[in-house]
Amino acid sequence: ITSPVAFDILPLKLHPFSQSTPTGLDCVGWKRRISVPVITDGVLDKTALTDDVGSEEDLYEDFRSSNHRYGHPGGGGEQLAINELISDGSVVYAEALWDHVTMDDQELGFKAGDVIEVMDATNKEWWWGRILDSEGWFPASFVRLRVNQDEPMEDYPLKVEGGKEDDSRHFGMGQTTKDQMRTNVINEIISTERDYIKHLKDICEGYIKQCRKRADMFTEEQLKTIFGNIEDIYRCQKKFVKALEKKFNKDHPHLSEVGSCFLEYQTEFQIYSEYCNNHPNACMELSRLTKVNKYVYFFEACRLLQKMIDISLDGFLLTPVQKICKYPLQLAELLKYTNPQHRDFKDVEAALNAMKNVARLINERKRRLENIDKIAQWQSSIEDWEGEDVLVRSSELIYSGELAKVSHPQAKSQQRMFFLFDHQLVCCKKDLLRRDILYYKSRINMDDMEILDVEDGKDKDFNISVKNAFKLHCRDTEEVHLFCAKKPEQKQRWLKAFENERRQVQLDQETGFSITEVQKKQAMLNASKQHHAGKPKAVTRPYYDFLMRQKHPTLPTTLPQQQVFMLAEPKRKPSNFWQNISRLTPFRK
């Protein structure tokens, strides 16, 4: 996992009395007793809230003030725990996730995979560390804390003659160092999974259940927006953790065979796609509601009633997004300490690839969902549109360009702009005076077509000489469409694009990808509002440049790029949607 994912990450504030874990999900013991009412009839008993701590407002402000009194200035219980370990004389190691290349003498350069001794973590963004004899500042977001903090540097597998690892050192009851390290990783996977289940249960029972009792405050549509399909995720994870428990060897954890569990549930984990796509909407809806005090007090009362740690609701709802991205990291760590001879090795190796594919699929679906807004905007810029919307059948622009279309019976050639989407090819005509304006002409259903490469020379069907040509032939009606490109390389790009279109359609069928009717209607509604608000009808260069700036915001120059994000995703090819749309820019002399 190497590139940042575009999910907005909100800072999580852990209560100072909590036991910090990698997920930060442990419950907390309060120093003072708070009396919180149980909501039984759909109405929150306000009088019960005032028994010990006064009004709702007093209760909320009391806990806010307690955070300011005890909260660590750096933010986050995990960071506080790191500094406590360092101050106690413990050695804290972190592993580099990305290369950090620097020309600054005060910064510490390293490569992905390097192990860094963390010497000072009081600053939230920049830590002080050491590698061998070099010391310096480095960005905290470039590293992750090592699972095996008790593994000293000298205990890395040594190389002996023949290039094989010497794993003869033993740990405790006859375990090798590698076995002990595998034990630590297995224990982390099991413990964090248990914490995560508790966390999901708290959200479902502590928030959703109470919100449903307050029909005067929340509609079902609002709850769907805020919580997405987190209840489905909770049911899935309960089954998954039971499968893990069955494979967990309590007496000898390093012998546990958990790889098969990830392989078994890889398809079910795809439900995270819907949740991740909805997460930005949840953040916006929460931001809107929490501007009203009664919602702030209500959410805080729900948290206290469920005895949850001191994190705001938006922080809790971020955890599933983080969790699905953490699985590949945990499995990579597990594979690192699993001997090739271990019975679980092949399954762990396959599970790592499977979970990377799940993360890749989730990010691809997020990208596709973002694309539908752009497609809706594009359609709204086309004059004289006829028939159904593009989004009824398509969700991806595969390729676009100018071609000469030859029509029967006179074999008349016409220059047209063509846009190849999944399932359909849309034909448009440029305005004679304003070349940035397009008029809708027709479309071709690609599901019924086969592509035929045409050699240069005289074509028998149309009885004309052609060059750089290809045909679309309808298998059902025997209808034939002839197209000519200006250059051979343009023809080859179109032939490749048609292959990609069929491949995309097949992949969507295999993975079950689809855009909901609600999402389609919302995209078209947004595009219509923008048009009526005075957006230019044609996709002009200034509008295109504006959209490009929105898609690629300027990052702070004082921070490395990866520091802006906390989650990572697999590499993927950049979307060429706007590169294709840029072909519609005004004609230049």
pLDDT in tens, 102-123: 767 788 988 877 889 999 888 8
Contact 230, 224 (CB under 8 A): no
Q: Can you give the pLDDT at residue 41? A: 37
Residue 570, preceding peptide bond in cis (omega within 30° of 0): no
Q: In Å, how far from its chain's centre is CA 130?
A: 32
Q: What is the pLDDT of residue 278?
A: 87
**Dihedral-angle region of residue 463 (phi above 0 means left; psi in -120 to 50 means alpha; beta otherwise):** left
Residue 537 near residue 434 (C-beta atoms within 8 A): no
Q: In which residue are the tokens 């248990």 written? A: 194
Cβ atoms of 480 and 503 closer than 8 Å: no
Residue-wise burial string across 205-238, b where 16 or more C-beta atoms lie within 10 A, e elsewhere: ebbbebbeeeeeebeeeeeebbbbbbeebbebbe
List the one residue out of 127, 82, 89 whose CA is nearest residue 106: 127
Residues 482, 406: contact at Cβ < 8 Å? yes
Give pLDDT < 50 ranges for the chain.
1-76, 152-174, 535-573, 581, 584-589
What is d(CA 448, CA 423) in angstroms, rounded to the nearest whole number? 9
The answer to whether 337 and 39 are in contact (CB under 8 A) is no
d(CA 529, CA 550): 18
- Give exposure, 372-405, as e/b (b: 16+ Cβ within 10 Å): bbbbbbbbbbbeebeeebbbeebbbbbbbbebbb
How far apart CA 201 and CA 210 sit, in angstroms, is 13
What is the per-residue pLDDT for 86? 81
pLDDT of residue 148: 58
Phi/psi region, residue 565 (left: phi>0; alpha: psi -120 to 50; beta: rest), is beta
Nearest to 5 by CA among 326, 330, 305: 326
Q: Enumerate domains of the chain plus CATH numbers.
A: 76-145 (2.30.30.40), 180-372 (1.20.900.10), 387-529 (2.30.29.30)
Q: In 3-state terms, what secondary structure has residue 106?
A: coil
Question: What is the structure's pLDDT at 580?
Answer: 53
* Cβ(120)–Cβ(131) below 8 Å: no
493-536: pLDDT as tens digits: 999 999 999 999 998 888 778 887 878 888 898 888 776 655 44
End-to-end CA separation in angstroms for the chain: 45
Q: What's 582's DSSP letter?
A: G
* Whole-number pLDDT of residue 533: 59
